[in-house]
Amino acid sequence: MSEPMLQTKQQAISMMKLWSFFLPLGISASLVTISHVIINSTLSRAADPERIIASYAVAMSLLAITERPAVLLRQTCSTLVRDKRSYTSTLTVAQLVFASIMIMGLLISYTPLGTFIFKDVFGVGEDSVDDVLRVYQVLMFVSIFSGIRCFYQGVIIYNLRTKWLTIGMAVRLAGMYMLSLYFIHTGVHSGVVGAYIFLFGMMIEAAVSFMEGRLLVRKMPDKLEDHTTKTKSHVFSFYRPLLFSSLISVWIGPAINAMLGKTWNAELAISSFAIAASLVMLLSSFFSYFHQIVINFYPIDPGAVRRFTLMLGFVPALLMGLIAFTDLGVFLLEHVIGVHGRLQAESIRVLQSFVLFALVMPWLDVLNGLVFVRRQTKLIIGSQISNLTFTIITLIVCTWLAPEWNGAIGAWAQSLGMMAELIFVALALRFIKTDEPVPAAARAAV
pLDDT of residue 1: 36
Rounded mean pLDDT, 6-29: 80
Q: Tens of pLDDT along 132-148?
A: 899 999 999 999 999 99
In contact, 323 and 351? CB cutoff 8 Å: yes
Asked if pLDDT for residue 440 goes beyond 70, the answer is: no
Nearest to 344 by CA among 324, 319, 315: 324
Question: Under a CB-based contact definition with an 8 Å cutoff, are residues 83 and 442 in contact?
Answer: no
Examine the pLDDT at 363 and tell me if it is beyond 50.
Answer: yes
Sequential DSSP letters for 387-444: HHHHHHHHHHHHHHH-GGGTHHHHHHHHHHHHHHHHHHHHHHHHHPPPSSPPP-B---
Helix, strand, coil percentages for the chain (3-state, nearest 5): 80, 0, 20
The mean-pLDDT minimum among 8-22, 286-300, 342-356 falls in 8-22
241-258 pLDDT tens trace = 999 998 888 888 888 878
pLDDT at residue 7, rounded to an integer: 40
Check whether 326 has a pLDDT greater than 80: yes
Q: Which of 159, 166, 145, 122 minimizes the C-alpha distance to 70? A: 145
Q: What are the beta bridge partners of residue 7? A: 441
The more confident residue out of 376 and 50 is 376
| Residue 125 pLDDT | 77
pLDDT at 36: 80
pLDDT of 18-33, one tens digit each?
999 999 999 998 888 8
Phi, psi dihedral angles at 295 (to 5 degrees): -60, -45
pTM above 0.95, yes or no: no
**What value does the mean pLDDT of the chain take?**
88
Give the pLDDT of residue 191: 87
- Per-residue pLDDT, 195: 93
Residues near 392 by beta carbon (within 8 Å), at least 6 away in sequence: 255, 413
Q: What phi and psi, each to the nearest 5 degrees, are found at residue 103?
A: -60, -45
User: Is the Cα torsion angle 287, 292, 294, 300 positive or negative in sign?
Assistant: negative
Extended strands (E) in 10-162: none
What pLDDT shows up at residue 10?
57
